[in-house]
Amino acid sequence: MEKQRGKAIAEKLVIAIVMCLYGGVFYFTPDKALRAVSYSVDVFFDVILLVIAAICLSGLAKATLSKDTIVRFLGQEKGARAYLTGVLTAAVMPGEWYTRIPLFEALLDRGAGFGPFTSLVTCRPLFVNFPQGVAFLGLPIAIIQVISTMVGALCAGLFANVVQMKVKVVPSRKG
């Protein structure tokens, strides 16, 4: 209940900030504000179907994946294997943040450990982006990007685990 209230307050705050920004821009340059609204509507219609699909996938994951399954692969007590599973899962999972976050939330809700979950969330979709990196930046830079992203995600997960043990950022969710 407390999580939902904090989430609602944060959402209202973001909406208020955006409205103030639009109001300020409209006050000084109405044509730019109207152009910004037009751009925003275009983006909205470009991504709304993907967001709806991601939310549906999240619901499907919550309804069909057992907590035991998630704990078996991403549970904190699984150690290094859970961190590697998180990184590799994120590496092959396509999509942008707005399509991945609902699924990530479902995995956390179903029992993923906070450290492995952080590794999962921190890692980018590497194997989807790798061909683009090779094409635009060259093979050596693309390889360095993959390695550094995976190592960085592992480090982020380990750091999050240490913080979680000391501060209890997220309450324990035992399967």
| pLDDT for 143 | 92
Give yes or no: residues 130 and 161 share one domain: yes
| pLDDT for 111 | 87
Residue type at position 10 = A
Give yes or no: residues 10 and 30 share one domain: yes
| pLDDT for 156 | 95
Residues of the chain with pLDDT under 70: 1-4, 6, 172-175
Task: Tell me if 61 sits within 8 A of 107, measured CB to CB.
Answer: yes
Show Cβ contacts of residue 90 under 8 Å, excluding neighbours closer than 6 positions: 100, 119, 120, 121, 122, 123, 124, 125, 126, 153
Give yes or no: residues 88 and 166 share one domain: yes
Retrieve residue 150's tokens.
């995976």
Give yes or no: residues 60 and 73 share one domain: no
| pLDDT for 1 | 56
3-class DSSP state for residue 93? Answer: coil
Show Cβ contacts of residue 126 under 8 Å, excluding neighbours closer than 6 positions: 90, 91, 92, 145, 146, 149, 150
Give yes or no: residues 34 and 83 share one domain: no
| pLDDT for 91 | 86
Indicate the residue among 31, 64, 97 that finishes a domain: 64
| pLDDT for 18 | 93
